Amino acid sequence: MKTLQHITWFVLLAGLSLCQAQEGYKPSSVNQQGKAFPQVNEEGQMRAQILAPEATSVKLDIGGVKYEMTKDAEGVWTGESAPQDVGFHYYQLNIDGASVPDPGTKYFYGAGRWGSGIEIPAADDAIFALRKVPHGKVVENLYFSEITQEWRRNFIYLPPGYMTSDERYPVLYLQHGSFEDETGWSSQGHANLILDNLIADGKAEPMIIVMDNGYAYKLDAPKEGRPESVFEEVMLDEIIPMTDKQFRTLADREHRAIAGLSMGANQTMRILMNNLDTFSYYGGFSGTSNYPSSDPIDVKTFLNGAFADGKTVDDQLNLFWLGLGTKEPAPFPKSVGAFKDMLDQEGINYSFYESPGTAHEWHTWRRCLYEYAQKLFED
């Protein structure tokens, strides 16, 4: 009898707990207007829902896990994920074996496709809140690359006041990660809103941000295997001259920064070290050029010995900034760790920021930009 009472009590508690969790679900902030699903609760779980009356199996596919959804009498399938890290995650639905975007969300480019996203609220979402402060503009710029012989596109953030002043501004070249594109930083990355807020609060200098596409190959590059990237060439010979020609930039290394996330951190570090006459500020968010290795770095051979004369490198750079989420998976912690060890050994100063409770995802990179942008172009 006592056992039965315990069980009853447990069941009641469990039911109550479930009920409370369900009441706590709210529509995600990146849903399409008027769409009630997907939803998120305070524990960071997401709940998806879709009408699929004739389906026999519907799954919610997020973070590498497929969660079974269940059908009600009207043919509406509902399912919840385990708690997710705060921030933005790509996900999809799987309907009888078909992987498709959730019709409830806006769409974002990542994981090599346009697809659904969900936003798990974080305590520091105010860094990209749409506040009543002066807002910069995001400009879509189409250009033909003579190097790749293809049309390319970038997005350019112009700070508040740009359109109505004659002022010149420093420039940050800011790159996305692998399987992402030039849309990421001003969409799920909120680079524009982060800068608007920092500038309004007097925490960052007004600056131009150029967000380009890190994939660039010669038209005649072999289709088999991994083609050689010509992104550095495009950046140096096309993107920077075009930016300096079309916008009111301060066109020297003292007013030029380059940064990127993951693949973009790797790429921009190489570009920086090959072109220290062009850039004086660096930011590497969740990545370094020794990726994916975690081995101790041989400074004589790494990037053709670019870091071998530590003192000269240190003198030349105004800022060498690294950031990483505390929950990043292998190989990032050890690979970035090996890189830091090399900097320490060479006596090169750097900043290292850790994003608490986030992995290799956009909330880490939003925080990185928020921290990094405050250190740029200080006189």
Closer by beta carbon to a copy of itself, 53 or else 296: 53
Taking the C-alpha atoms of residue 290 and residue 306, their distance in angstroms, rounded to an integer, is 13
Q: Which two three-digit tokens encode residue 142? A: 């189409």
Min CB(362)–a copy of itself separation in Å: 19
Closer by beta carbon to a copy of itself, 54 or else 224: 54
Beta strands at 208-211 and 171-175: parallel, antiparallel or unpaired: parallel
Q: Which residues contact 220 (CB under 8 A, 6 or more apart)?
A: none
Taking the C-alpha atoms of residue 244 and residue 8, their distance in angstroms, rounded to an integer, is 72
Phi, psi of 150 (to 5 degrees): -140, 155
Closer by beta carbon to a copy of itself, 4 or else 151: 151
Closer by beta carbon to a copy of itself, 103 or else 305: 103
Sites of contact with a copy of itself (CB under 8 A): 32, 50-58, 75, 92-93, 95-103, 106-107, 113-115, 130, 132, 135, 137-144, 151, 163-164, 186, 245-247
Taking the C-alpha atoms of residue 185 and residue 177, their distance in angstroms, rounded to an integer, is 10
Closer by beta carbon to a copy of itself, 152 or else 285: 152
Min CB(315)–a copy of itself separation in Å: 36
Min CB(271)–a copy of itself separation in Å: 24
Beta strands at 76-80 and 87-95: parallel, antiparallel or unpaired: unpaired
Min CB(91)–a copy of itself separation in Å: 13
Min CB(189)–a copy of itself separation in Å: 14
Min CB(174)–a copy of itself separation in Å: 16
- DSSP-assigned states of every residue in 108-144: EEETTEEEEEEEE--TTGGGG---SS---EEEEEEEE
Closer by beta carbon to a copy of itself, 185 or else 339: 185
Closer by beta carbon to a copy of itself, 52 or else 221: 52
Number of helices (H), then strands (E), in the chain: 8, 19
Min CB(202)–a copy of itself separation in Å: 21
Taking the C-alpha atoms of residue 189 and residue 302, their distance in angstroms, rounded to an integer, is 31
Q: Which residues contact 268 (CB under 8 A, 6 or more apart)?
A: 173, 175, 258, 259, 260, 282, 283, 284
- Reported residue count of the chain is 379
State the chain's maximal CA–CA distance in angstroms: 84
